[in-house]
């Protein structure tokens, strides 16, 4: 039992540190336009999700973060598809994608590309 206790404490401490980081980067409540939410970089959130997967523990913050990452990945795929189909993508469809990005609580590089394409 004495051998397992330090390992459990270490695992618990790592999990608590991860939860604290997760709570700092994932918004807890919906705001009208998420205007007061500071968005984290998409890759940073994805890396945190990989980090907790290595811990092999189940946390509600992990589930929420998984949903955010999956939503962002889906959006990124649709943006890339729209930008590759220049002639078939209308300004309205590009603006719709831009509007969707407001509700995704991470910064994505593709958002800048989309904004430049709309301005062009």
pLDDT, greater one: 112 or 36: 112
Enter the pTM of the model. 0.76
The confidence score (pLDDT) of residue 14 equals: 85
C-alpha to C-alpha distance for 13 and 26, rounded to whole angstroms: 20
C-alpha to C-alpha distance for 120 and 107, rounded to whole angstroms: 21
pLDDT-derived band at 55 (thresholds 50, 70, 90) equals confident
Instruction: Identify the three-state secondary structure at position 88.
Output: coil
C-alpha to C-alpha distance for 76 and 24, rounded to whole angstroms: 24
Q: What is the pLDDT of residues 66-114, one digit of tens each?
A: 999 999 999 999 999 888 876 667 888 889 999 999 889 889 999 998 8
Q: How many residues does the chain have?
A: 120
C-alpha to C-alpha distance for 120 and 118, rounded to whole angstroms: 5
The confidence score (pLDDT) of residue 77 equals: 94
C-alpha to C-alpha distance for 31 and 34, rounded to whole angstroms: 5
């Amino acid at each position: 039992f004495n051998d397992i206790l330090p390992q459990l404490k270490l695992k618990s401490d790592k999990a608590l540190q991860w939860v604290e980081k997760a709570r700092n980067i994932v918004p807890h409540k919906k705001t009208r336009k998420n205007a007061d939410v500071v968005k984290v970089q998409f890759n940073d959130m994805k890396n945190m999700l990989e980090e907790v997967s290595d811990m092999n523990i189940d946390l509600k913050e992990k589930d929420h973060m998984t949903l955010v990452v999956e939503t962002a990945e889906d959006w990124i795929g649709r943006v890339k598809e729209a930008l590759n189909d220049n002639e078939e993508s209308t300004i309205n469809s590009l603006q719709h994608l831009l509007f969707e990005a407001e509700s995704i609580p991470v910064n994505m590089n593709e958002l800048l590309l989309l904004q430049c394409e709309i301005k062009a």
